[in-house]
Amino acid sequence: MRNLQFIFVALFGFIVTSFNAQTRTEIELKEGWKFAKGNHENAYQSAFNDSKWQTVTVPHDWAIYGPFDQEIDKQIVAIEQNGEKIATEKTGRTGALPYIGEAWYRNNFSMPQIKPGQKVLLTFDGAMSEPRIYLNGKKVGEWNYGYNYFYFDITDVVTTSNTLAVKLTNRELSSRWYPGAGLYRKVKIIIKNEESIKHWGTYITTPFITQDLAKVNIKTKVSGNQFKLITKIKDASGNVVSADTTTTCFGNEFDQNMAVKNPNLWSPETPYLYTTISQLYSNDSLKDEITTTFGIREIKYEANKGFSLNGNIRKFKGVCLHHDLGPIGTAINKAALRRQLTILKDMGCDAIRSSHNMPSLEQLELCDEMGFMFLAESFDEWAKPKVDNGYHLFFETDVEKDLVNLIHATRNHPSIVMWSSGNEVPDQWGADGVKRAKRLQDIFHREDPTRPVTVGMDQVKATMESGFGALLDIPGLNYRVHLYEEAFEKFPQGFILGSETASTVSSRGIYKFPVEKAVSKQYDDFQSSSYDLEYCSWSNLPDDDFILQDDKPWVIGEFVWTGFDYLGEPTPYDEQWPSRSSYFGINDLAGLPKDRFYLYRSRWNTSDNTLHILPHWNWEGREGETTPVFVYTNYKSAELFVNGKSMGVQKKNNDTPQNRYRLMWMDVKYQPGTVKVVAFDDEGNMVAEKEVRTAGKPYKIILEPDRTILKANGEDLAFVTISVVDKEGNVCPTATNQLKFSVTGKGRYRAACNGDATSLEQFHLPTMKLFSGKLVVLVQSDKEAGDMRLTVTGKGLKTANVILKSEKIESE
């Protein structure tokens, strides 16, 4: 076996624009957009009449407003990566939302007079998809990949009064999940001097880190020559800890080496961030200034040892995430992203894989700040197709520029610890696929030699034979737990990554009997059991991955499919209408935790105790029937009581994978009342208890906001969990009441979601049914500070209100 050692030492950051009128100005084009679907001839011309078009703000996803329709993007396909041989009709594969077709956005904006020696850039963080960009009636550029960041120099076209027009085209049969539609990420104008730091022109690494000293290497590409570059590094308190001045420039690039003494290292547990201020001078005149926030950390991937961060060996406790944000679709929103990461942090998750696309810059910024390692993925297709109109149409012409933009835009983030060039690409077969894998990996190494590259491989046998898996820096296995041992023996790297694991399916609060392990099980209600024993034909249960992580030191971690449910891919019901979103999530589409959340939390969250009982205890009509009780806990043993009678003590053991990680009482007979579990520590002392009670009829609505103070910026969100309780205050776990919502004051109703993969209720309408007793309402702030009141009503229920406040933030 070849003994490979990967050592990557780096210090990374992200650029935050310095609003210094002397050097550069950044304008976000957020408001005043006009939008219309359809083929609008001459819409790119300034004189075009768009007065009847819809007025929207950007980021914007036009398709999330629905309605759901089974005829939208109906795909007759055999999903090869799922092992299907015969094509069948898939009605909800891309979410059954109306994302297909052409659409136009127009924005009239004014700018100050461009002075001689200035230049103007137009930047897009993403546009779904195939954007064609026009300014003042002239085409300034185009891009094909909807997940990529791109920009154009518009200096020669821009004036003081401008009309920007963007044509987008979403083809049918172009995606395997809901891709969203529209200008779903930010659009900006950057005005700066021609003599300046190039866009994405700063690249920071550290070739040397000790406890006492970090050597910081900062490469800065500039436009022009005869410059002086002054760079300062500040700690989190704003103190200057290092400074350097240089006039030596190599081929329009400065190369500075700076020292940071006693560095605070970035990690998920301590996400410490520094900042640099880079000032570019010409003849003592300040030409440009940018600020970069960064973190110092060391990563290593070593044969037979695995992955280490800052010298400490650890395993990735990661999840995969699609890019939609549930009821608000793909329109990027930092508050929604922060909520997702907060939920995952409580679960003990420390890593994210962007699946299967390039991540948003906001997501990376939050991962830097909150402490998540990141696997940044690029493509779901290479040259061979999965869907008729996928990325394979552009692979040969666009792949290099797409990868270069990904790397340059994001390589300074401390959170990113590896790249992925693809997911389950059909190119895993044959010599051509090996050549493509090497080509893409070489681009990553050329543009960023500090991080390794992986591919999520599902055709593991094929990659063993072809050499595909052997050439990768990190062999990533999607599922295929039965092949881990063989892959470790045949691949030379000396470690294996679970790049995609589990694909267990469940519906929050839904339990099926009898309780048994099942593959691709279907039920008449199109739900999956939350006993967490059902999975797909190609996948497995969480416990199977836990064993590999615990028993095999050469397995370096896992990324579970998925952290949250997402729109589209409603397996195992992708042939059944009205299923239109996934069942894979540890949390549902509303962000509410399923039982499986607590199974992972009991393993991953090592600072807090977990004690969780399932199922609920409202089973009218099942009196006397066997109703197993599971407990997910970090404690090794517990005793179960039903209406005060002991059901015995269960201890975790190695009899089966499930017995090793769950406490299970399989013979419990249902009787209404109280189920209580008492947990014991290793010495047998009673240390915690939890109980679940049979609830009566729904009586009162309960509102629980994730926070009560918002930013008065017109885009901040509060997520309010809504449930109903009986007269004694017990949560009603099977309630399906239809509720109505209204918001008054300095905010507005944005959306609601109940987590039901079969619900066809539109998210933006102010009414929705409870699912398994709960749903979530999103309240959005106005730009004006003040109070806002959410009122929730339901027939036969006591009305509930909650007051939220929004405040002006000076920094905004």
- The DSSP line for 699-712 is -EEEEEES-SEEES
Chain-centre distance of CA 172, in angstroms? 24
Cβ-contact 332, 301 below 8 angstroms: no
For residue 130, indicate whether it is catalytic.
no
Of 424, 534, 558, 569, the active-site residue reads 424
Q: Residues with Cβ < 8 Å from 437, sequence gap 6 or more?
A: 421, 422, 427, 455, 468, 471, 472
Between strands 161-170 and 132-135, the pairing is: antiparallel
Using CA atoms, how far apart are residues 660 and 107, in angstroms rounded to an integer? 59
Cβ-contact 173, 150 below 8 angstroms: no
Token pair belonging to 303: 């044969």
How big is the CA angle at 383 (ends 377 and 388), to the nearest 5 degrees?
95
Which residue has tokens 């590896």? 418
In Å, what is the CA distance from 613 to each residue of 529, 630, 678?
Answer: 15, 6, 11
Extract the runs of DSSP E, i.e. beta strands, from 495-554: 496-502, 518-519, 534-535
For residue 424, indicate whether it is catalytic.
yes
Type and span of the H or E element at 354: strand 351-354
Nearest to 787, CA basis, from 807, 765, 804: 804
Using CA atoms, how far apart are residues 218 and 275, in angstroms rounded to an integer? 12
- The DSSP line for 372-441 is -EEEEE--S-SSS-SSTTSGGGTHHHHHHHHHHHHHHHHTT-TTEEEEEEEES-GGGSHHHHHHHHHHHH
Of 381, 500, 639, 715, the active-site residue reads 500
Q: Look up residue 259 and give its amino acid.
A: A
* Range 151-154 contact pairs with CB under 8 angstroms and sequence separation of 24 or more: 151/121, 151/122, 151/123, 151/124, 151/199, 152/121, 152/122, 153/119, 153/120, 153/121, 154/120, 154/121, 154/122
How many CB atoms within 10 Å of residue 629? 23
- The DSSP line for 586-643 is SB-TTSPBPHHHHHHHHHH--SS--EEEES-S--TT-TTSB--EEEEESSSEEEEEET
Nearest to 345, CA basis, from 55, 587, 535, 627: 587
Using CA atoms, how far apart are residues 111 and 130, in angstroms rounded to an integer? 27
Report the first-to-last Cα separation within the chain, whole angstroms. Answer: 56
Catalytic residues: 424, 500
